[in-house]
Structure 1
Amino acid sequence: MSDINHAPMAHKAGLGSAIRRIESAIAAIPEALPLLALRFAIAVPFFKSGLTKWDGFLTLSNGARYLFTQEFSLHILGSQYPYPAPILMATLAGIGEIVLPILLVLGLGTRFAALGILAMTAVIQLTVPEGWANFHLPWAAMALALAAYGGGQLSLDRLVGLGARKN
C-alpha cells in the first residue's frame, strides 16, 4: 500500500530528473551556435528586402522610388509625415539592407551592424506601425541580443579581436 502512495512522488522525481537532464543538455549548447543562428535569422529578411530596392549596382528600383516618395510616411504621435529626402532615404535603406546583413552573416562588426538593423527596425516601425508584433518586435529583439553579445566565436569579429566576450 505504501508503494501506491509513493508512486506519484517517484513519478515527480523522475520527471524532475528528466527536466534537469534536458536543461543541462540545452545549457551545454555552445554560445556560438545561437548567436550564429540569430545573425542569419535577422540577416535574411533584411537582405531579401534590400534586393527589391535595386535594379543594378546603385540603381534604385522604380518600386523603391515609388514607395518612398508616394506610399511610405512616418507615423508619429498620431500624425503622418512624408519621408524627408525620400530618394536619399530609399538609397540609404537599400544600402543598409544589403551591407548590414552581409556583415552580420560574416560576423564582422556584428555589434555595429546589429545597431544599424535596430535603428532601421525603429524607422520601419514608424512607417508600418501595425507590423510590431509579427516582425518588428522579433527583429528588434534579435538585433538587441547581437548588439549586446556580439557575433560569438564563429565570427570574423573573433578573428580580428572585436569579439571580446561580454561578462
Structure 2
Amino acid sequence: MTALASAPKPTSPLARAETLLAAIPAALPLAALRVALAVPFFKSGLTKWDGFLTLSNGARYLFTQEFQLHIFGGLYPFPAPILMATLSGIGEIVLPILLVLGLGTRFAALGILAMTAIIQLTVPEGWANFHLPWAAMALTLVVYGGGWLSLDRLLHRR
C-alpha cells in the first residue's frame, strides 16, 4: 500500500474545504488572470486612438508634454514621443486581445510586463496600487502560460 493511499482522509471542515479548493483546475485562475490583466490595458489603449491608427490628441499631448521618465532621480522626456505613444497604443490593444484569447500568452504577458516597467518609470507613485499587481499577474502568466482554456493549448496539442 502506498503512503498516499494509506493517508487518512481530512476530517476537519477546514481540511475538507482546503481539499475542495485545491481541486480547482489551474486553468480557471489562469483564465481569470488573463482577463484581469487585459482589461486595464485595453481600456487605456482605447483612449489613445481617434480612429484606425489615428493617434488621439490626448495621447500626443501626454507623450510630448506631460510624461517624463523618472530615472536615477532625474526627469527625462520620452525619446521619440509620437513613436512611443503609437507603440504604446498598439501594444495596449493587441496584447490584451492576445491575452484574453490565450494566444501567445507568455509573449503577450512579457510585453505587458515590459510596458508595466516603463509605466513605473513614468508614474512611480503608482507602484503599490497598480504596477505591482500588474507585474505579478504578468509574471505569473509568463511562467505558467494560459492554461488549457487557451488557444495556445489548442494550437500546441500533439
Unaligned 5+ segments in structure 2 are 1-10
Q: How many residues align?
A: 148
Aligned CA-pair RMSD: 1.3
Partner of 1:110: 105
Following TM superposition, by how much is the alpha carbon of 1:105 offset from its aligned partner in structure 2, in angstroms? 0.1
Among 97, 108, 116, the residue aligned to 1:121: 116
Larger Rg: 1
Partner of 1:91: 86
Partner of 1:81: 76
Partner of 1:137: 132
Q: Any residues of structure 2 matched to 1:5-154 within 5 Å, and which? A: 17-154=12-149
Following TM superposition, by how much is the alpha carbon of 1:17 offset from its aligned partner in structure 2, in angstroms? 1.3
CA distance in 2: counterparts of 1:84 and 1:19, whole angstroms = 55
Following TM superposition, by how much is the alpha carbon of 1:100 offset from its aligned partner in structure 2, in angstroms? 0.1
1:30-69 per-position Cα deviation (integer Å, ceiling 9, x unaligned)? 1110000000000000000000000000000000000000
SS in 2 for 1:154: coil
CA distance in 2: counterparts of 1:123 and 1:19, whole angstroms = 43
CA distance in 2: counterparts of 1:99 and 1:17, whole angstroms = 47
Q: Give the % identical residues.
A: 82
CA distance in 1: counterparts of 2:155 and 2:28, whole angstroms = 19
Runs of 4+ in 1 over 3 A off after TM superposition: none
Unaligned 5+ segments in structure 1 are 1-15
Q: Could you tell me the TM-score, scaled by structure 2's length?
A: 0.92
CA distance in 2: counterparts of 1:60 and 1:159, whole angstroms = 35
